Amino acid sequence: MPVYLKDIHEFEKLEHFESVLIVPCRFCPAASLAVRNNEPYLSFFRDHLQTAAYERYIETMKSELEKRGVKTDVFRSRLPHQFVVCMWTSRRRKKQIKQAKNYDALVVLGCEAAAQTILDSCEASSFHVVQGMRNEGIMSILPRFQFPDRITLQLNSITPLFHQKQGPDAWMRFDLEKDSANSMYSIFNARRNLQ
Ligand code: SF4
């Protein structure tokens, strides 16, 4: 049940941060970029478990931020069990938060669950957590194997989500800087005033 995530290119909205750590989830965002660009999800021999379309987007974000004077790095995941942010182990979360302490903001490439996972790891930290992709719904996809080593994804449908403000316990309980329906980025307050 992958989430269909739209990549955002308004990088100038992040330039007020001095330093940014990009934290990519490597499942739904990669599938979304592959589907939208009509490119393979994986080529086993060539791409080393990475989705080329997604890697290009991460590198574009990094270089665009660096062009604007923002110190930028990527929290890289190289092993399959590290790819899915909403299923990170406590060890992985601790490692991420240790690196995050050197940055003003974390730009999470993933859905609201990815941002929530990062928030849950933050505890008393004072940096911002920014959801760097927009959730457009849940996609139904048909994987196909293409000889000799490619997996492609055929998009069958996208079921839209209806973001309803349902009070303090809904996912919108985060302290959003703007209405997420209109903003390019949803900026979460990482000081965890959630309870
Ligand atoms: S964190 Fe979100 S984007 Fe990443 S795998 Fe889980 S549901 Fe998909």
Over the stretch 52-66, which tens digit does the pLDDT of each residue have? 999 999 999 999 999
Is 154 within the bounds of a domain?
yes
pLDDT of 185 reads 61
pLDDT of 181 reads 42
Is 194 within the bounds of a domain?
no
The DSSP bridge pattern shows strands 105-109 and 128-131 to be parallel
112 alpha carbon – ligand 1 mean position (Å): 8
Domain limits for position 10: 3-188
Is 59 within the bounds of a domain?
yes
pTM: 0.84
Is 96 within the bounds of a domain?
yes
115 alpha carbon – ligand 1 mean position (Å): 9
Is the C-beta atom of 109 inside 6 A of ligand 1?
A: no
Is the C-beta atom of 86 inside 6 A of ligand 1?
A: yes
Is the C-beta atom of 53 inside 6 A of ligand 1?
A: no
Is 20 within the bounds of a domain?
yes
Is 195 within the bounds of a domain?
no
Is 145 within the bounds of a domain?
yes
Q: Which amino acid is at 25?
A: C
Q: Answer positive or negative: Cα dihedral of 124, 65, 12, 39.
A: negative
Q: Please tell me the distance from the alpha carbon of residue 187 to that of residue 169, in angstroms, as a whole number.
A: 18
Contact call for residues 151 and 27 (beta carbons, < 8 A): no
Is 53 within the bounds of a domain?
yes
**Contacts of 16 by beta carbon, 8 Å cutoff, 6+ apart:** none
Ligand 1, atom 5, residue with closest C-alpha: 84
Atom of ligand 1 nearest to the CA of 83: 5
Is the C-beta atom of 30 inside 6 A of ligand 1?
A: no
Ligand 1, atom 6, residue with closest C-alpha: 86
Burial of 185 (0-12, 13-18, 19+ CB in 10 A): buried
Domain total in the chain: 1
The structure tokens listed for 121 are 């790891």
**Contacts of 49 by beta carbon, 8 Å cutoff, 6+ apart:** 42, 78, 80
Q: 21: closest CA among 62, 67, 81?
A: 62
pLDDT of 56 reads 96
Q: Digits of tens for pLDDT over the chain (195 positions)?
A: 799 999 988 898 899 899 999 999 999 999 999 999 999 999 877 777 889 999 999 999 999 999 999 999 999 988 888 899 999 999 999 898 888 989 999 999 999 999 989 988 876 566 788 999 989 999 999 999 998 889 999 999 999 876 544 443 333 333 334 344 444 565 654 434 333
The pLDDT tens digits of the residues spanning 102-140 come to: 999 999 999 999 998 998 887 656 678 899 998 999 999
pLDDT of 73 reads 97
Burial of 191 (0-12, 13-18, 19+ CB in 10 A): middle
Is the C-beta atom of 3 inside 6 A of ligand 1?
A: yes
Q: Please tell me the distance from the alpha carbon of residue 61 to that of residue 195, in angstroms, as a whole number.
A: 33
Is the C-beta atom of 110 inside 6 A of ligand 1?
A: yes
pLDDT of 167 reads 41
